Structure 1
């Protein structure tokens, strides 16, 4: 029998069901939805609190929210560790710094690719905090709860992602 952990890709239905079960477990055990951007927000708040304690005391964020390194960070670590285990188990360890699609559009500059990735990640984090939730928070947990705001977020997120990819990379006319 073929080892399912050694496959380079899994059935999206199986993965979706697994994420659903994980979400149920998160609600059952922590009474909290899945989401990871809060971990980064709390880490930044803790860094600010340690660097500028007087500013933190006067900031209402610290009175409304108690930043901590909590279970959300365990989810971030789990995603990282799980990805590493998956890449080793499947043998999918191609060290590509500049993907072919990026190279065909913007060239093979590694610094440009890394700057683009960092800027994109920063914009996504800003958007996630502006929307008060990330794609996992809204797109998984919120949609599972049938929250109208999460369905709207998902519609806008996917539409914006498709439009952005089309604007950045153009129409794909060749096999890159």
Structure 2
């Protein structure tokens, strides 16, 4: 499969993610995952605005809102995505991608609203499923976890179904 000139090879990136996952297990004995990190970030924000309420939530009694390795991984992912886009032909300042605009119009508010709703659904699913796409799809699959392979199949079925529903591909 040929990749677009100027972009990062998906094979190289996949190999690097696999090596990162193996190194994470080796050095920290932890899986490569981010859903708990997002929950910790939400707890940190909750502490800024309403500490008493956040501290009384059962989840945050067990999982303290703090900056730890997973939070730093999320920040590193954002930085890495920026570097990858800046060093390839993928860097854009468009708030509404062309495919979205063609199907739903040029409305930034609709695009951002749908991104927020989609993110909220994914976050809820990650908490409900005991892990996110990286936790199940990378770390769990690497460990040959049956539940992670089932989750991975469900991720792909949902993604393909959603793409067909939204874009009628």
Distance in 1, matches of 2:68 and 2:124, equals 21
1:96–1:58: structure 2 CA closer, same or farther, 3 Å change rule?
A: closer
Distance in 2, matches of 1:109 and 1:51, equals 31
Which range moved further: 51-60 or 158-167? 51-60
In the TM superposition, what whole-angstrom CA distance separates every residue of 1:90-121 from its partner, at most 9, and x where no partner exists?
24322222112211211111211111112111
Distance in 1, matches of 2:46 and 2:137, equals 29
In the TM superposition, what whole-angstrom CA distance separates every residue of 1:4-42 from its partner, at most 9, and x where no partner exists?
xx93131x3222221111001111111110111211101
Higher normalized contact order (CA 8 Å, seq sep 6+, divided by chain length): 1
Give the CA deviation at 1:60.
Answer: 3.3
Larger Rg: 1
* Other structure's SS at 2:87 match: helix
Structure 1, unpaired ranges of 5+: 1-5, 172-176
* Other structure's SS at 1:90 match: coil
Corresponding pairs, count? 165
Give the CA deviation at 1:71.
Answer: 0.6
Distance in 1, matches of 2:77 and 2:157, equals 25
Q: What is the aligned partner in structure 1 of residue 115 from structure 2?
A: 117
Structure 2, unpaired ranges of 5+: none
Note the aligned Cα RMSD (angstroms): 2.0
Distance in 1, matches of 2:40 and 2:98, equals 36
Q: TM-score, normalised by structure 2?
A: 0.86
Cα contact 2:40–2:65 (8 A) shared by 1: yes
1:57–1:128: structure 2 CA closer, same or farther, 3 Å change rule?
A: closer
Give the CA deviation at 1:85.
Answer: 1.6
